[in-house]
Chains A and B, each alone.
Chain A
Amino acid sequence: MRQIKGIPILFVFILAACSTEKGQDIKPLADSLLLNQKSNIRSVRVDRLDASRFKILLKQHEGKVLFINAWATWCAPCKEEFPDLVKLAEEYAHSDVAVIGISVDYPDEIESKIIPFLQDQRVNFPNFVQNFKRPEDLINLFNEKWRGAVPATFIYDKKGQQRSFLLGKQSYEQFKAEIESVRSES
């Protein structure tokens, strides 16, 4: 039984070491945030998220509660709630809760819009940009009831099952209560 359990983990590592179809390397999430000690400016990396990358992401976070927030640089309520995400990520660092952001901007806006915004926010959690051809592919992957409006938050339990879908801007207290609720059920 222990051997069987080990297979999916090995599979994740094999996948993580491979390249995607578009030749983009999938690097460990820890690499997405590098603190440049000299300048004290965070060097932020934003990877592209498609369906296969999302599957890997869920696998990588098995055993953890995964808090995913969908946002955009043009979305005012997203910007307003972002500092609370930074606060949550700091609070849950090194715990069984992981915070991840997904920008619904376009991949060609990584350098011009997404990274400057994340640097400005002093982001401390990994972020991706959607890389789906059709909006419904992204929408249906997360929740069929979602219409793509942001901010939207999805919380997955430790088995990778979505347990919470929060549409619109939430308060820090609402986020925290929802995380703890999923955490206690897991």
Chain B
Amino acid sequence: MHRIKFFTFFVFILLLSTILAAQETGKKAADFTLQDFSGKTYTLSKDEDSKAIVVMFIATRCPVSNAYNERMVALYKDYVPKGVSFVAINSNKQEDIEEVKEHAEEHNFQFRVLKDPGNKVADAYDAQVTPEIYVVNSNLELLYHGRIDNSQREEGVDSKDLRNALDEILAGKTVQVADTKAFGCSIKRVQ
């Protein structure tokens, strides 16, 4: 009798741990469709040929986000040839589409910059700051979330977290540090 009870308890623990593990590792990112500043529509789930998709919440006026403009351009240049795609999202209520366009042109962004009216995508992703990064695969499984690196000033960087994650994804490895703390300006949401 005791043996049966113990076995039932063991199976219960095993099942519970499987469920918990599935919630942590199998997180699915929300699909979204947004327009860029030229009116072109982008749907995350249609970006199915990419080995990884880097979703970057950015801003036009945030000094922290702006400190990463050149680094984002460099990431794009380095990883697009390897099969990674990049898409930026502006969810700030006070930064309109014209401002987003001017900012993208001024900083030579070659990646799409999408406007997120009503910060619906930021809410779906629970993105809080700019810059904040989410990397997903073509099945929209979340592979990395957090910062680009660990210093707003480039000379202080000693942990290139996003590059490390992308290198591991491209090598078919599990991302070792899949969750880092994004820091920056808060996303200014509609009330």
Contact = CB atoms under 8 A, between A and B. Distances in A.
Interface of A: 72, 74-75, 106, 133-136, 139, 147-150, 167-168
A136 B156 CA distance: 13
Contact of B186 (A106, A135, A139, A167): A167
Contacts of A135: 150-152, 181, 183
Nearest to A75: B185
Contact of A139 (B63, B153, B181): B181
19 contacts: A74-B63, A75-B185, A135-B150, A135-B151, A135-B152, A136-B183, A139-B183, A147-B128, A147-B129, A147-B181, A147-B183, A147-B184, A147-B186, A148-B64, A148-B129, A149-B128, A149-B129, A149-B184, A149-B185
Given A74-B63, A136-B181, A149 B150 contact: no
B2 to A, nearest CB: 43
A85 to B, nearest CB: 18
A66 B183 CA distance: 24
A148 B183 CA distance: 5
- At the interface, is chain A mostly helix, strand, loop or mixed? loop
Given A74-B63, A139-B181, A147-B181, A134 B151 contact: yes
A168 B183 contact: no
Contacts of B181: 135-136, 139, 147-148
A56 B153 CA distance: 28
A167 B184 CA distance: 13
Contact of B184 (A133, A134, A148, A168): A148
Given A75-B185, A135-B151, A147-B186, 16 more contacts: A72-B63, A74-B63, A134-B150, A135-B152, A135-B181, A135-B183, A139-B181, A147-B181, A147-B182, A147-B183, A147-B184, A148-B64, A148-B129, A148-B183, A149-B183, A149-B186
A170 to B, nearest CB: 13
Interface of B: 63-64, 128-129, 150-153, 156, 181-186
A151 to B, nearest CB: 9
B153 A136 contact: no
Lowest 3 CB-CB distances: which A-B pairs, in order?
A: A148-B183, A149-B186, A135-B183
A106 B150 CA distance: 15
Contacts of A139: 181, 183
A106 B153 contact: yes
A133 B156 contact: yes
A168 B150 contact: no
B151 A168 contact: no
A20 B17 CA distance: 48
Contacts of A168: 186
B154 to A, nearest CB: 13
Contacts of B129: 147-149
A150 B151 CA distance: 17
B152 to A, nearest CB: 7
Nearest to A74: B63
A74 B67 CA distance: 13
B184 to A, nearest CB: 7
A182 to B, nearest CB: 23
Contacts of B152: 135
A129 to B, nearest CB: 14
A138 to B, nearest CB: 9
A135 to B, nearest CB: 4
Contacts of B183: 135-136, 139, 147-149
A148 to B, nearest CB: 3
A135 B183 CA distance: 7
